[in-house]
C-alpha cells in the first residue's frame, strides 16, 4: 500500500515538472515570437525608409508601402536618375543596420526581457542585410544587384560584407537567448524548439499570408522561410558554444519569463503588423 502511494506521488511529481517545463518553454516561445516579429517588421520598415529618404534628398518624389508580409517597396523609385541609384540603393540596408545596431548598443547595459523587442532589432537588422548582400545577389533588380550594376561594387566584396553581417547577427541573437530563459547548458533540442517556435513560426505566418493574398509570391517567400530554418539551427548551435565565452565580456542573465514581458512583446509585434496593414499599406 505504501509503495503504491509512493509511486503515485512520484508520478504526480513528474507530471507537475513536465507541465511546468512545458509552460516555461511556451512562455519563452511567445516572448521570442513577439520580439522577433517586432524587430523584423521594424527593420524592413526602416530599410524602406532609408530608400525613401535618399530618394527625397535627391529631389525625387516617391511613395512608400510597408507590408509586414513581404510586400514592402518604394513607389516610383524607377523614375530617379540612374546616377543616384547607387546611393539610394545603399541607403536602405545601411540605414536599417546603423539605426538597429545603435539602438541595441544604447540598450545593451539595460537589457531585459521587457526591452528585448528593441534590443533584438540590431542583430535582426544585421541578418536581414546580410541576406541582402549575399543571397540578394541572386535576385535581379535587388539591392545587391543594383549596387553591382550602378556602382560597380565587386561581387566578392558584397558577399564578404553579407557573410560578416550574418555571422555577427547570428552570434548576437544567440547571445540574447538567456533573455527568453534559454541557458547555455540547455539541451540542443530545447534551444532549437524555442528558436524555431519563436522565429521560424513568424516566417511561416508570412508565407501563409502571402499565399492567400498573392499566390504568385509563394516561391519568393519560401526562400526566407528555408533560410530562417537554417538560421534557427545555427543560433541554437552557436549559443551553446560561444555564450560561455561571450559572457566573460558581458553576461546575459537567464531568468523565468514573466507574463508582463510576454504581453509587451506580443502587443508590440502585433501592433507593428496592424499599423503597417491598416495605415501604411
Q: What pLDDT, in 10s, does the model give residues 56-79? A: 998 888 889 888 887 788 888 777
> Tens digits of per-residue pLDDT, 169-211?
999 999 999 999 998 888 899 999 999 999 988 888 888 887 7
Number of domains in the chain: 1
**According to the model, what pLDDT value does residue 8 have?**
52
Query: What's the whole-number average pLDDT of the chain?
Result: 86
Residue with more model confidence, 37 or 85 = 37
**According to the model, what pLDDT value does residue 44 have?**
94
Find the domain containing 166 and state its range: 2-278
Cβ contacts of 176 within 8 Å, gap of 6 or more:
111, 116, 119, 120, 123, 252
Residue 93 has pLDDT above 90, yes or no: yes
Name the burial class of residue 7, with classes exposed (0-12), middle (13-18) and buried (19+) by CB atoms within 10 angstroms of its CB.
exposed
Q: If DSSP codes are grouped into helix, strand and coil, which group holds residue 65?
A: strand
pTM value > 0.85: yes
Amino acid at each position: 500500500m505504501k509503495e503504491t502511494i509512493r509511486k503515485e506521488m512520484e508520478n504526480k511529481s513528474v507530471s507537475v515538472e513536465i507541465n511546468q517545463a512545458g509552460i516555461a518553454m511556451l512562455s519563452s516561445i511567445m516572448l521570442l515570437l513577439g520580439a522577433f516579429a517586432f524587430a523584423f517588421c521594424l527593420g524592413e520598415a526602416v530599410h524602406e525608409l532609408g530608400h525613401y529618404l535618399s530618394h527625397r534628398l535627391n529631389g525625387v518624389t516617391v511613395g512608400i508601402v510597408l507590408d509586414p508580409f513581404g510586400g514592402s517597396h518604394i513607389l516610383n523609385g524607377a523614375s530617379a536618375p540612374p546616377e543616384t541609384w547607387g546611393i539610394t540603393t545603399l541607403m536602405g540596408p545601411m540605414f536599417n543596420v546603423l539605426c538597429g545596431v545603435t539602438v541595441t548598443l544604447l540598450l545593451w547595459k539595460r537589457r531585459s526581457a521587457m526591452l528585448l523587442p528593441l534590443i533584438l532589432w540590431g542583430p535582426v537588422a544585421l541578418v536581414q542585410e546580410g541576406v541582402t548582400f549575399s543571397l540578394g545577389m541572386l535576385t535581379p533588380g535587388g539591392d545587391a544587384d543594383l549596387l553591382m550594376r550602378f556602382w560597380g561594387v565587386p561581387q566578392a566584396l558584397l558577399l564578404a560584407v553579407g557573410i560578416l553581417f550574418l555571422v555577427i547577427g547570428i552570434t548576437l541573437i544567440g547571445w540574447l537567448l538567456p533573455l527568453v530563459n534559454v541557458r547555455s547548458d540547455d539541451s540542443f533540442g530545447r534551444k532549437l524548439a524555442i528558436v524555431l517556435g519563436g522565429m521560424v513560426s513568424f516566417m511561416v505566418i508570412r508565407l501563409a499570408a502571402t499565399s492567400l493574398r498573392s499566390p504568385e509570391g509563394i516561391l519568393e517567400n519560401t526562400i526566407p522561410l528555408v533560410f530562417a530554418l537554417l538560421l534557427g539551427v545555427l543560433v541554437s548551435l552557436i549559443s551553446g558554444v560561444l555564450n560561455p565565452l561571450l559572457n566573460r565580456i558581458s553576461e546575459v542573465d537567464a531568468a523565468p519569463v514573466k507574463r508582463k514581458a510576454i504581453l509587451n512583446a506580443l502587443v508590440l509585434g502585433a501592433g507593428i503588423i496592424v499599423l503597417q496593414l491598416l495605415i501604411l499599406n
